[in-house]
């Protein structure tokens, strides 16, 4: 891909919207991105291979459905939000791919997760691959906060001001040794900065997706259901891996 290409491609634009928040913070992708993608542009997608967290999953979904473009809109949507395409991915093959891709790096529960329990969704990367789960039993406050911000979460817009919105959503919790979702709680999230946004202005009563400190766009009821299902599935397998990790390595 070359910089500036494919700017009218809906999959590329969607990838850019969801990839910008962590890229802005310097967590993944190319350095130096400081402004949200312009409407209709997909500059970050031109560097998608540099998002080494997302790229193996996108490739896995594409291969499973015989799609040559890992940035096809349905593949990108499946990675960020879930959906039926995830069931097409061979979990054993995906797990082997991820263990190879992230070998030599500190990971959370990737060694403990059982075969056939990998999911080609961003939630799997947050709860299983990232190392934060490894610190939950020491002091859960920081890892829970980071995983909460990093996961794609959904919520209902309660109020909107010039640059922020109050969104009511179920936050990540860690209770009795298990990750879960708490009672709906309001949080303040950015929807634009200096006149630039990742999506149209949110509307009170609308359900939106948030990633780190940004609203990435409105969600349909179907997308909410898919995101909910993917999140719950990953939490279940992460909790099973947490239990296994505690059994084999009590100091985890």
Each residue's pLDDT tens digit, 18-35: 999 998 888 876 665 656
pLDDT value at residue 153: 98
Average pLDDT (193-216) is 96
pLDDT value at residue 18: 94
For residue 90, the enclosing domain spans: 10-248
pLDDT digits (tens, 9 = 90+) for 213-222: 999 999 999 9
CA angle 127/128/134 to nearest 5° reads 90
DSSP 126: I
Residue 243 lies in a domain: yes
Note whether 163 and 192 are within 8 A (CB). yes
Residue 152 lies in a domain: yes
- 118 dihedral zone (left: phi>0; alpha: psi -120 to 50; beta): beta
Average pLDDT (48-57) is 86
Half-sphere exposure of 215 (CA within 13 A, CB side): 31
d(CA 174, CA 99): 26
Whether 41 shows a pLDDT value over 50: the answer reads: no
Residue 148 lies in a domain: yes
Residue 155 lies in a domain: yes
Average pLDDT (63-87) is 97
Domain count, the chain: 1
Average pLDDT (151-171) is 98
Residue 215 lies in a domain: yes
Whether 165 shows a pLDDT value over 50: the answer reads: yes
pTM of the entire structure?
Answer: 0.91
Round the average pLDDT of the chain to a whole number and report it.
89
d(CA 40, CA 121): 25
pLDDT value at residue 2: 32
pLDDT value at residue 27: 80
Residue 4 lies in a domain: no
Whether 69 shows a pLDDT value over 90: the answer reads: yes
Whether 6 shows a pLDDT value over 50: the answer reads: no
d(CA 189, CA 202): 11
């Amino acid at each position: 891909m070359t910089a500036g290409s494919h700017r009218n491609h809906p999959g590329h634009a969607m990838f850019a919207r969801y990839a910008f928040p962590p890229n802005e913070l310097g967590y993944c992708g190319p350095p130096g991105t400081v402004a949200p993608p312009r409407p209709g542009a997909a500059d970050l997608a031109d560097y998608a291979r540099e998002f080494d967290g997302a790229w193996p999953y996108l490739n896995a979904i594409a291969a499973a459905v015989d799609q040559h473009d890992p940035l096809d809109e349905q593949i990108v949507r499946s990675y960020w939000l879930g959906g039926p395409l995830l069931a097409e991915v061979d979990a054993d093959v995906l797990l082997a791919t991820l263990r190879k891709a992230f070998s030599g790096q500190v990971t959370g529960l990737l060694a403990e997760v059982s075969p056939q329990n990998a999911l080609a969704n961003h939630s799997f990367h947050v709860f299983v691959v990232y190392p934060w789960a490894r610190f939950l039993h020491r002091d859960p406050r920081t890892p829970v906060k980071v995983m909460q911000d990093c996961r794609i979460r959904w919520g209902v817009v309660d109020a909107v001001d010039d640059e922020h919105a109050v969104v009511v959503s179920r936050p990540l919790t860690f209770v009795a040794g298990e990750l879960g979702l708490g009672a709906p709680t309001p949080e303040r999230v950015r929807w634009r900065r200096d006149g630039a946004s990742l999506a149209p202005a949110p509307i009170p009563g609308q359900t939106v997706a948030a990633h780190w400190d940004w609203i990435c766009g409105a969600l349909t009821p179907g997308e909410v259901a898919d995101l909910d299902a993917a999140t719950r599935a990953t939490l279940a397998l992460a909790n099973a891996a947490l239990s296994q990790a505690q059994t084999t390595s009590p100091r985890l």
